């Protein structure tokens, strides 16, 4: 589809064995084999591996491209300025305090690392970035050799062109660009959002356990682009930016990398609309743990422990009896980064802005602010809509994340008074309290 914006097509499913060919070249996929002596239409066969060759079948990830020119035809890589993208976690002294930054941030275009931990060289870790841009990538693309990007647009839609095809991604949608996949982004005005990067693992759907076969993020709602190619020579050079071991490099070539006429495999980019999430929640009493809202998880080698979980807090019904319904006060062995796409977060309705973020580090106390506690301790417990018009989310990680110098200082948007939202909490203890007698 040459007029892609008006007629998007996708393949439905999560982790499926897909195949797709551009309708302009029917029969471009080889029959019965991956690498024939001569490919249809004179194409080159190229495999993209997202796992070791010998991984068990359930975790073995790879796709085959049939492209006009192979990606190996490029000039040598040279280093480029990293800007505010970093993997240096000791820039600042460790700080266990609750951290919140305002939504508005005036800064140069690109990726800006807020926090993270781990190491790309050992393939074990996580980074959280903000992205801001107002200009499309013209004759430029990005390739992440270090890990997977989970992209959460907050303001402005983005058109993501990949070697697999194109995806239009709007606020309240997410997309995942897995390790090694080249992509370019077109924007339609001032655009910003969040990026969760994981090294050494791919995102997958969480296990459902006693929930059963259906619920949370259903596989059918994940969408993968269909094949689309351009056979375009670039006289002034096409730039491929490669993130490798936390540093940026660029190489030049004289053709568009989006020259894949057909492809097949189970290692693909994909997108998902958060409104499709089938919410599970308490219908009797008490507050369920936020893990019940997990959309995607990147597992560690320890059972039940994630490198990163992507969790959302969507509109839903609150019906619990005899219960303080907002999130409980908490100290956690995990790190929690909160973001807000739109609306007002239920546990802190004032001050936490769309486009902002907060980090509650390991074992640092957090929970509802004073106003939220007082309001919900006396509110009538009738069925009510919670988070209507709101979409908040959390990146939760088993890593103890460090905040970068950009996140703490350079951006100049750190809310140093964040702790004051809990100062109105007052003592309610009454040693003479007795349970009410129930008379018949």
Give the pLDDT of residue 107: 33
With a CB cutoff of 8 Å and minimum separation 6, the contacts of 346 are 313, 326, 327, 372, 386, 387, 390, 392
Integer Cα distance of 349 and 344 in angstroms: 5
- In the block, tokens 């062995």 appear at 333
Q: What is the CATH number of domain 75-258+267-274?
A: 2.60.120.10
Q: Which residues are annotated as a binding site?
A: 330, 336, 345, 366
344 is annotated as an active-site residue: no
**Catalytic option among 129, 273, 287, 360:** 287
Are 41 and 68 spatial neighbours (Cβ–Cβ below 8 Å)?
no
DSSP 90-108: TSS----S-EEE-S-----
* pTM (predicted TM-score): 0.93
With a CB cutoff of 8 Å and minimum separation 6, the contacts of 15 are 204, 219, 266
* Residue 84: DSSP 8-state: B
Half-sphere exposure of 282 (CA within 13 A, CB side): 19
For the domain 279-418, what is the CATH superfamily, name and number? Answer: Jelly Rolls (2.60.120.10)
Q: Where in the chain is the domain with CATH 2.60.120.10?
A: 75-258+267-274, 279-418
Question: Which residue in 346, 342, 339 sits closest to 371, CA to CA?
Answer: 346
Are 400 and 95 spatial neighbours (Cβ–Cβ below 8 Å)?
no
**209: phi then psi, degrees, rounded to nearest 5:** 55, -135
Integer Cα distance of 208 and 155 in angstroms: 32
**pLDDT 10s digit of each residue in the chain, 440 long?**
444 444 458 999 999 999 999 999 999 999 999 999 999 999 999 999 999 999 999 999 999 999 999 999 999 999 999 999 988 888 887 777 776 655 444 333 489 999 999 999 999 999 999 999 999 999 999 999 999 999 999 999 999 999 999 999 999 999 999 999 999 999 999 999 999 999 989 999 999 999 999 999 999 999 999 999 999 999 999 999 999 999 999 999 999 999 999 999 999 999 999 999 999 999 999 989 999 999 999 999 999 999 999 999 999 999 999 999 998 999 999 999 999 999 988 766 676 889 999 999 999 999 998 999 999 999 999 999 999 999 999 999 999 999 999 988 888 888 888 889 899 999 999 999 998 876 66
* Residue 366: DSSP 8-state: B
Q: What angle do CA 338, 195, 265 make, to 5 degrees?
A: 125
CB atoms within 10 A of CB 42: 7
- SS3 breakdown of the chain: % helix, strand, coil, rounded to 5? 10, 40, 50
Give the pLDDT of residue 4: 47
Give the pLDDT of residue 338: 94
Are 170 and 161 spatial neighbours (Cβ–Cβ below 8 Å)?
no
Integer Cα distance of 83 and 101 in angstroms: 20
Q: Which residues are annotated as a binding site for homogentisate?
A: 345, 366
> Would strands 247-255 and 140-144 be described as parallel, antiparallel, or unpaired?
unpaired
Q: Which residues are annotated as a binding site for Fe cation?
A: 330, 336, 366
The token pair at 322 is 């005899």
Are 128 and 194 spatial neighbours (Cβ–Cβ below 8 Å)?
yes
Strand partners, 403: 115
Give the pLDDT of residue 98: 75
Question: Which residue in 11, 84, 107, 30 sits closest to 261, CA to CA?
Answer: 30
The token pair at 273 is 């609309």
CB atoms within 10 A of CB 392: 23
**267: phi then psi, degrees, rounded to nearest 5:** -115, 100
**261: phi then psi, degrees, rounded to nearest 5:** -80, -35
Integer Cα distance of 161 and 159 in angstroms: 6
Give the pLDDT of residue 334: 94
Give the pLDDT of residue 100: 61
Question: Which residue in 159, 182, 146 sits closest to 67, CA to CA?
Answer: 182
């Amino acid at each position: 589809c040459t007029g892609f914006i008006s007629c998007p097509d996708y393949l439905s499913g999560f982790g499926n064995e897909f195949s797709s060919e551009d309708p302009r070249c029917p029969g471009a996929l080889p029959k019965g084999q991956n690498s024939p002596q001569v490919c249809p239409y004179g194409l080159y066969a190229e495999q993209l591996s997202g796992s070791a060759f010998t991984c068990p079948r359930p975790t073995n990830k790879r796709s085959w491209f049939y492209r006009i020119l192979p990606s190996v035809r490029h000039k040598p890589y040279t280093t480029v300025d990293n800007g505010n993208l970093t993997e240096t976690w000791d820039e600042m002294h460790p700080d266990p305090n609750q951290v919140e930054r305002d939504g508005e941030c005036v800064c140069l275009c690109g990726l800006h690392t807020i926090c993270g931990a781990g190491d790309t060289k050992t393939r074990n870790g996580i980074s959280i970035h903000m992205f801001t841009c107002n200009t499309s990538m013209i004759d430029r693309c990005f390739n992440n050799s270090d890990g997977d990007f989970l992209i959460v647009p907050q303001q402005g839609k983005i058109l993501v062109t990949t070697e697999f095809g194109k995806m239009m991604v709007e606020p309240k949608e997410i997309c995942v660009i897995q390790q090694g996949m080249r992509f370019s982004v077109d924007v339609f005005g001032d655009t910003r959002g969040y990026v969760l990067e994981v090294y050494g693992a791919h995102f997958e759907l969480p296990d459902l356990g006693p929930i059963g076969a259906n619920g949370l993020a259903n596989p059918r709602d994940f969408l993968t682009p269909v094949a689309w190619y351009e056979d375009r020579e670039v006289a002034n050079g096409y730039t491929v930016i490669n993130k490798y071991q936390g540093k940026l490099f660029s190489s030049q070539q004289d053709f568009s990398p989006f020259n894949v006429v057909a492809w097949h495999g189970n290692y693909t980019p994909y997108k998902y609309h958060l409104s499709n999430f089938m919410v599970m929640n308490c219908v009797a009493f008490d507050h369920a743990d936020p893990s019940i809202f997990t959309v995607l998880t990147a597992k560690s080698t320890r059972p039940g422990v994630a490198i990163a979980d992507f969790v959302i807090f969507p509109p839903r019904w609150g019906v619990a009896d005899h219960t303080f319904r907002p999130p409980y006060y908490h100290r956690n062995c995990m790190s929690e980064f909160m973001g807000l796409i739109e609306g007002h977060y239920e546990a802190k309705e004032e001050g936490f802005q769309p486009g902002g973020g907060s980090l509650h580090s390991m074992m640092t106390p957090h929970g509802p602010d004073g106003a939220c506690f007082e309001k919900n301790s006396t509110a009538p417990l009738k069925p009510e809509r919670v988070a209507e018009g709101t979409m908040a989310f959390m990146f939760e990680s088993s890593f103890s994340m460090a905040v970068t110098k950009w996140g703490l200082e350079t951006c100049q948007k750190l809310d140093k008074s964040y702790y004051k939202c809990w100062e109105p909490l007052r003592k309610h203890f009454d040693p003479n309290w007795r349970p009410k007698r129930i008379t018949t």
